[in-house]
Amino acid sequence: MTADYQQFIMQIKRKTGIDLALYKEAQMKRRLESLRDKRGYATFLSYYQALAADSSLFHEFLERMTINVSEFYRNKKRWEVLEEKILPRLLAENSKPKLWSAACSTGEEPYTLAMIMASFMPLSEVSILATDLDKEILKRAQVGFYTDRSLKEVPPGVLSRYFTKELMGYKVSEQVKRSVTFKQQNLLSDSFGTQYDLIICRNVMIYFTEEAKHELYQKFSQALRPGGVLFVGSTEQIFHADQYHFETEDTFFYKKKG
């Protein structure tokens, strides 16, 4: 790692608490370098000085490092497994499940979960925690406005029931919104709650180093009740899941052993 980038990592950690060293280096550095070059700074040192003085540059940096792409029913087949196999078991064990969408981005993931939960119980009884590192993205999640790009997998019946058409896209219904509580949280440094029935954490762990992932799996395992499930992204299989007391309940679903 160059001294220039290493110092940048330290400065960002001091300013924000975000530790860029826990993200895969080649990928992260490339992303940040291209943004830095675009803004006309030859070194990370001069780029940091500019970021520290200009909040719009700083927000642009945060936006670039966090990669916020999401969509409703992302990898739809997995959500079908959740609805048809995983949730019926979890609900038979606990009729008031504790649910968490970790790294929820613009909200498509927790809202998808809410819409699926509504086929099991009244939405007014559904309560989902949704967290992300990026405060700005959480504001967008709370607004709940989406364009076609993130809606292409939404079943037609769900679209008509839980969305209203606006000029440029769709808005999620208030009753769905009320079932989700958004909070800012850094998965790599903040503590987690306990006794979760279901934790969904998808398409963020790919950005983390092996060491960071290892710690995170341990924290997720501790946060789940025995029998609870961690639902991961479709490129994020856990190797040697048993070291975290997980067994595979279905592809990309890990059940904490009792």
Residues binding ligand SAM (CB under 6 A): 66-70, 74, 103-105, 109, 132-134, 137, 186-188, 202-204, 233
CB-nearer residue toward ligand SAM: 87 or 104: 104
CB-nearer residue toward ligand SAM: 41 or 154: 154
CB-nearer residue toward ligand SAM: 41 or 117: 117
CB-nearer residue toward ligand SAM: 93 or 211: 211
- Phi, psi angle pair for 85, to nearest 5°: -120, -50
Minimum separation from the CB atom of position 39 to ligand SAM (A): 21
Q: What is the 8-class DSSP label of residue 82?
A: I
Minimum separation from the CB atom of position 46 to ligand SAM (A): 25
HSE-CB at 59 with a 13 A cutoff on CA atoms is 6
Minimum separation from the CB atom of position 20 to ligand SAM (A): 10
CB-nearer residue toward ligand SAM: 114 or 187: 187
HSE-CB at 168 with a 13 A cutoff on CA atoms is 2
Measured between alpha carbons, how far is 21 from 106 in angstroms, rounded to an integer? 25
First-residue to last-residue Cα distance in the chain: 43
Helix axes 44-53, 3-16, angle to 10 degrees: 20
For residue 21, how many other CB atoms are within 10 A of its CB? 18
Measured between alpha carbons, how far is 186 from 189 in angstroms, rounded to an integer? 6
Minimum separation from the CB atom of position 234 to ligand SAM (A): 9
Measured between alpha carbons, how far is 70 from 107 in angstroms, rounded to an integer? 8
Minimum separation from the CB atom of position 103 to ligand SAM (A): 4
CB-nearer residue toward ligand SAM: 81 or 103: 103
Minimum separation from the CB atom of position 213 to ligand SAM (A): 11
- 165's CB contacts (< 8 A; 6+ apart) are none
CB-nearer residue toward ligand SAM: 82 or 104: 104
For residue 77, how many other CB atoms are within 10 A of its CB? 11
Helix axes 55-66, 135-143, angle to 10 degrees: 80
Minimum separation from the CB atom of position 38 to ligand SAM (A): 20
